[in-house]
Amino acid sequence: MRHKAKDNFFSRRILIIGIPSVLLIFAVYLFFNFDDIYFNYNPKKATFSKLEKIRKEKKAKVTHYLDQQKARGVQTCQNNDINDYFKKLHYLYKNQGYSSMEYALIEHSINTLFVTELDKFYDILFIDSEGDIFFTVKKENDFLGNIHEDRFNGISLYEKMRNVEIRETEFVDYEHYSVSDEPASFFISTVFEGNKIEGYIVLQLPINDINSILTDRHGLGRTGEVYLVNYNQLMITQSRFIDDNTILTKQIDTESVRNALLEKRGNRIIDDYRDKRVFSSYEQFNYEGTEWIIIAEIDEDEVVTEIYRGREKELFKKVTDYLADYSYHKDMQKIFAQDWKQNNNCVKVDFKEFQKNKDNQLLYTEGVATCTAMTVSYPGKFGYLLHITPTDGSYKRIGYLTRLFLRDNYTDFVNRVMKSINRYDILQSEKSLLRFGVVATHDESFKNIVHKLIDNEIELSQIKVLFKKNSQKVDIVFDYQNDNMWTQWGSGFNMMYTDEYEYVPDFGEIIKRLSNYNSV
């Protein structure tokens, strides 16, 4: 009985000690994995929550940066030395003393202060009460001009100075400043002699730092971006997806911009300026009288891909069953083997081989049984056809020891082809234009192939899978020009090739259906 009591004592003690430990471990797990858990539970709400957080952080950074520059500008303009320089240079300007030694010494002092104290600014302009621009650091063609000249018509900086009496520091929104031939904003500070306005010190601020804040894509995944839009619906920052300049050149007329002008802030799934479906979180805000819209977005395709990545084990089984039972379109076009094989406009891809083509030829391969075929197309530009064997890393039974045993017989066609495409064939902004097809009579490989493509920043919406588990083999004809594929399943004389590939939904669409994405 004593032993039994002793056992019960220690059992209770272990239980008492164990429960807090388990709870602590669980709490730690939740702390570090909450975002993933929440995303798997409700991907749409989790995505909008993350975009809102990023949008607010970016907005805070932008306004903090501008406040810093304004404070530096105000401090500089209140500097007694700067005010003395302003007045002395204005006297020299009015009395034709710009060739004097005194002018050279003052200019040197201002340039030194500009480099050491105002390094974030592009230029500093001294303008008198009559509109004469009597000093600039850069000496561009605004120097010694007057703000009332016709050549300055339409420039917001000068329009504001012509029409508004400025007594406190004013901000002028970013626009294309033709004098410098680049986007610029301005802070205008007034120089007083008592209560009388002597003139203005204007600090010209380039777009670079604002652009850097918003194009820092930490935490934005493969397709996320944050950008600013002005009240004229022009993008103020550089697009992640367009190589050409978009700053003050790209008009953004999307649902998010229109709604931001009406309802200030919100979250929606919309078609963005690329006509891509995106999660969009937007807010209109005011900085120093200037209305801006800040927008944080991420492609819906990436969200769907991440749903699959987080629930891969569960969803892959559903995808396999879905594809195995898929009912293909009944009115498919057909081509006969003799119609295409007799001409010379085709290239054969043999067993354990891949070929690239960009000469408008058809690529074809035959006898894909235990192997797997994969196509890659950039429609109208180039295509690849891969005949992947069971000694490739795409097959699930290929582990580390097997790779050692296979040695030179081991292949990794997917990563090898993707490396070549990334290095030689496309710009990174073109990656979303690629299309991938996977064709197999088994499920031994396409899970790993999809996984490898995701690791290469390919979204599920870019991938289609043809899978017929009851077929012994499949022959394939591939037309990369139009991203068309014809397949002949099984064996037989004069069997027809059918274009089933055109009608099967992409992998991303299948995941939407199977994960209840549309009902969340």
For the chain of 520 residues, list the mean pLDDT of each consecutive stretch of 10: 48 56 52 57 91 98 96 87 93 87 92 90 96 96 96 95 90 95 95 91 96 95 97 96 94 97 94 97 96 98 95 94 81 62 81 92 93 96 96 82 75 96 93 96 93 97 93 92 89 72 93 85
Q: What is the pLDDT of residue 99?
A: 81
Distance CA 280, CA 340 (A): 47
Quick one: which of 74, 50, 183 has its CA closest to 122? 183
Distance CA 507, CA 484 (A): 17
**Chain position carrying tokens 């700067």:** 82
**Is 348 in contact with 519 (CB distance < 8 Å)?**
no
Task: Tell me the whole-structure pTM to 2 decimals.
Answer: 0.86
Over its C-alpha atoms, the chain yields an Rg (Å, rounded) of 33
Domains of the chain (ranges; CATH) run: 45-61+209-302 (3.30.450.20), 78-206 (3.30.450.20), 326-519 (3.30.1330.200)
**Which residues does residue 267 pair with via DSSP β-bridges, in sequence order?**
281
DSSP 241: S
Quick one: which of 166, 205, 176 has its CA closest to 289? 166
Cβ burial, residue 49 (10 Å; 0-12/13-18/19+): middle
**Alpha helices (H) in 78-136, listed in sequence order:** 80-94, 101-117
H or E stretch covering 299: strand 290-299
Q: What is the pLDDT of residue 409?
A: 84
DSSP 422: I
**Residue 100, φ and ψ in degrees, nearest 5:** -80, 160
Question: Which stretches of 231-276 are assigned E, i.e. beta strand?
Answer: 265-271
Q: What is the pLDDT of residue 429?
A: 87
Q: What is the pLDDT of residue 47?
A: 95
Q: What is the pLDDT of residue 463?
A: 98
| Coil, strand or helix at 248 | coil
Quick one: which of 132, 180, 186 has its CA closest to 156? 186
Q: What is the pLDDT of residue 30?
A: 41
Cβ partners under 8 Å of residue 472, min gap 6: 369, 441, 490, 491
**Chain position carrying tokens 């749903």:** 307
Cβ partners under 8 Å of residue 179, min gap 6: 140, 141, 142, 155
Q: What is the pLDDT of residue 165?
A: 87
Distance CA 309, CA 454 (A): 9
SS3 of 371-434: the string is CEEEEEEECCCEEEEEEECCCECCCCCCCHHHHHHHHHHCECHHHHHHHHHHHHHCCHHHHHHC
Q: What is the pLDDT of residue 324?
A: 87
Cβ burial, residue 129 (10 Å; 0-12/13-18/19+): middle
Q: What is the pLDDT of residue 10?
A: 43
Cβ burial, residue 503 (10 Å; 0-12/13-18/19+): middle
Distance CA 247, CA 239 (A): 8
Angle at Cα 150 formed by Cα 149 and Cα 152, nearest 5°?
75
**Which residues does residue 475 pair with via DSSP β-bridges, in sequence order?**
488
CA–centroid distance for 496 within its chain: 43
Distance CA 370, CA 377 (A): 24
